[in-house]
Amino acid sequence: MYKRFESRRMAAIPMEIITGKTDLPLEFITFDLSPGGAYLMTDAVPRLGEEVVCAFDLDGATPMCFFGVVSRINRGRRACDHGPQGFGVRFTDATPIERLRIRHSLKGLAPTFPAPKRDNALTSAMGWS
């Protein structure tokens, strides 16, 4: 199972996606971006598990291109679906250097959502909320 260790940052960056259904790139706007993947806002979502190609430009110098897998779909139909409709892509072939480049480019941007408040035994025992 894939675990996310990078925090997501709010970044409205245009990203082109090529799916198996079309050879033409479809342009989306990222809602959030991390070195491990991106969340793209759209009403048209591919299938969960579908392999895609993602291309985007962070700094205007060198475009980045990765293979990815659709790992999350949010259609806004369930009570637990928060945020805009769209889908999440996990980059499958990003090298450590490319991930560092993304992390450096996102430095200083705000997180996508505030971290959820977590209740644990220590905070409960201490009476903290």
How many of the other CB atoms lie within 10 Å of CB of 25? 14
Q: How far apart are the first and last CA of the chain?
A: 31
Residues 65-82: what's their mean pLDDT? 77
2 part of a folded domain: no
**pTM greater than 0.75 (yes/no):** no
92, pLDDT greater than 90: yes
Q: How far apart are CA 83 and CA 63, in angstroms?
A: 27
How many domains would you assign to the chain? 1
pLDDT of the residue at 16 = 93
80 part of a folded domain: yes
Collapse the DSSP code of 126 into the 3-class scheme (helix H, G, I; strand E, B; otherwise coil) and give the result: helix
3 part of a folded domain: no
91, pLDDT greater than 90: yes
Q: Which domain holds residue 103?
A: 9-126
Tell me which residue has tokens 């971006």. 33
If you average pLDDT over every residue of the chain, what do you get? 78
Lowest model confidence (mean pLDDT) among 17-21, 62-66, 109-113: 109-113
Write the CATH number for 98.
Answer: 2.40.10.220
4 part of a folded domain: no
